[in-house]
């Protein structure tokens, strides 16, 4: 990991953002009514490491995800939970400083693993997929980010409250396009105190009512 201390004064969002999480309707209602809390995702292929995941400002993507779960599980009543979020101390992989920080740490981690006679995990695509460049099982990325958190904890460095990244995903929206139909911004919340409140998303209404 780079020994120089990066200047993160102007990084991340200074205000609040909206996040959307796809889940069972019963889970959404229980969270909104303060009967339970969303669980942290701790699988080895989580894109931004372990934590609670939200689609930033993307209700439709959250609804599509829970309506067509990529792992094939059955969701009896798909629903979307809204959240008001402060990123606080965020490992923001949309920010050049943080991107370079993670790159430097990866290079250091690779050397450490090699000295131990081991190899790093790899990002993989799903079996049977036709889109071989879209490696949605991101074991390498998860491993790098989680180990970065561990090193910071050992060094008694202030931990990251959240992690954010933009993902170019899916198929081109027209031939030779630079835009893809599932591109999105994803947020992983590590510190639950970043979540300031939950809500049930509401539909837009016509306003003013007397528009001709």
**Per-residue pLDDT reduced to its tens digit, 88-135:** 999 999 999 999 999 999 999 999 999 999 999 999 887 766 655 678
Measured torsion, CA atoms of residues 142, 21, 92, 102, in degrees rounded to the nearest 10? 0
Alpha-carbon gap, residue 155 to 150, rounded angstroms: 9
Better pLDDT: 95 or 14? 95
Q: What is the spatial order of strands in the sheet that 16-24 belongs to?
A: 90-92, 162-167, 184-189, 52-56, 16-24, 78-86, 195-199
pLDDT at res. 2: 45
Question: 187 lies in a domain?
Answer: yes
Q: Say yes or no to pLDDT of 6 above 60.
A: no
Is 7 a member of any domain?
Answer: no
| CA 46 – CA 145 distance, rounded (Å) | 10
* 70-90 pLDDT tens trace: 777 888 999 999 999 999 999
Q: How confident is the model at residue 208 (pLDDT cuts 50, 70, 90)?
A: confident
CB contact burial 81-118 (16+ within 10 A = b; e otherwise): bbbebbbebbbbbebeebeebbeebbebbeeeeeeeee
Domain tally, the chain: 1
The pLDDT of 25-49, averaged and rounded, is 95
153 band by pLDDT with thresholds 50, 70 and 90? very high
Q: Mean pLDDT over all residues of the chain?
A: 90
The pLDDT of residue 7 is: 56
Model pLDDT, residue 131: 59
Rounded-to-integer distance, Cα 4 and Cα 84, Å: 34
Q: Is the pLDDT of residue 9 over 70?
A: no
Range(s) of the domain holding residue 22: 16-199
Rounded Cα–Cα distance for residues 50 and 189 (Å): 8
**CA–CA distance, 167 with 187 (Å, rounded to integer):** 11
Instruction: For residue 123, tell me if it sits in a domain.
Output: yes
Across 20-41, average pLDDT: 96
Percentage with pLDDT > 70 across the chain: 89
Instruction: Give the predicted TM-score (pTM) of the model.
Output: 0.88
Helix H, strand E, coil C: the string for 81-149 is EEEEEECCCEEECCCHHHHHHHHHHHHHHHHHHHHCCCCCCCEECCCCCCCCCCCCEEHHHHHHHHHHH
């Amino acid at each position: 990991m780079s020994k120089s201390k990066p200047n993160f004064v102007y990084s991340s969002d200074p205000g609040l953002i909206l996040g959307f999480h796809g889940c069972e309707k019963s889970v959404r209602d229980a969270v909104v009514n303060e009967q339970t809390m969303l669980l942290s995702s701790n699988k080895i292929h989580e894109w931004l490491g372990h934590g609670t995941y939200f689609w930033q400002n993307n209700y439709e993507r959250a609804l599509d995800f829970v309506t067509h779960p990529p792992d094939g599980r059955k969701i009896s009543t798909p629903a979307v939970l809204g959240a008001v979020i402060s990123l606080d101390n965020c490992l923001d992989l949309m920010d050049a400083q943080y991107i370079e920080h993670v790159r430097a740490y990866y290079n250091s981690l690779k050397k450490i693993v090699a000295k131990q006679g081991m190899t790093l995990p790899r990002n993989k695509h799903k079996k049977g997929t036709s889109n071989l460049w879209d490696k949605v099982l991101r074991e390498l990325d998860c491993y790098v980010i989680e180990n970065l958190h561990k090193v910071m904890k050992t060094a008694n460095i202030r931990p990251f409250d959240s992690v954010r990244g933009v993902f170019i995903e899916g198929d081109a929206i027209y031939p030779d396009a630079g835009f893809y139909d599932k591109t999105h911004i994803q947020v992983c919340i590590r510190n639950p105190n970043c979540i300031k409140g939950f809500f049930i998303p509401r539909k837009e209404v016509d306003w003013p009512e007397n528009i001709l």
